[in-house]
Amino acid sequence: MKRYFYQFILLICICFLISCGSLQEKNSAYKANLNTKITVNSDQIKQALYSQYKDWQGVRYQPGGLSRDGIDCSGFVHVTFKSKLGLNLPRTSVMQARMGDEVRKDELKVGDLIFFRTGKISSHVGIYLEKNKFLHASQKKGVTISSLDNTYWKSSYWKSVRL
């Protein structure tokens, strides 16, 4: 019986080591994907984002969701960049916030990611469009376009990232 217990522990350790290596590999893939040059201009990006909005408008917010049955903010960013811009971003807002280069709020361009602190340990992410508007999956409205001039978003603003 003791022998099986030690074999079981060994198997768990091996699985853990394998999974950690694959996580690092995935993170490297994101960086490699971002280092490739994007050959679309800002008008094409804007058109792709508005098209995504048209397809997803009103889809309800669902934590952990990744489909039209329900989607969360980071899932929406993940799906949008993959399907419309061909970039494979991490799934969570925490990992997305670590990508690219930080830019000032007054330097935002279409396609930049915008991050908000919505609680002590929670954050929210959206995609900048134009004229202080951004596309995101809102807990109250689902997939929508909001204004950075809104009191809530203005006070919750954390940082912006350009990929």
pLDDT (tens digit per residue) in 101-127: 999 999 999 999 999 999 888 899 999
Catalytic residue status for 13: no
| Model pLDDT, residue 4 | 60
Token pair, residue 18, equals: 């394998």
20-76 pLDDT, tens digit per residue, is: 333 333 443 444 345 444 456 899 999 999 999 999 999 999 999 999 999 999 999
Active-site residue (options: 13, 15, 78, 124) = 124
25 sits in which H/E element: helix 2-35
Buried b (16+ CB within 10 A) or exposed e, 62-96: beebeeeebbbbbbbbbbbbeebbebebbbbbeeb
| Model pLDDT, residue 112 | 98
pTM higher than 0.75: yes
Active-site residue (options: 13, 20, 73, 78) = 73
Catalytic residue status for 136: yes
Confidence bin at 3 (pLDDT 50/70/90): low
Mean pLDDT across the chain, nearest whole number?
83
Helix axis angle, 42-56 to 73-85, nearest 10°:
130
| Model pLDDT, residue 12 | 46
Of 9-23, 103-117, 141-155, the least confident: 9-23
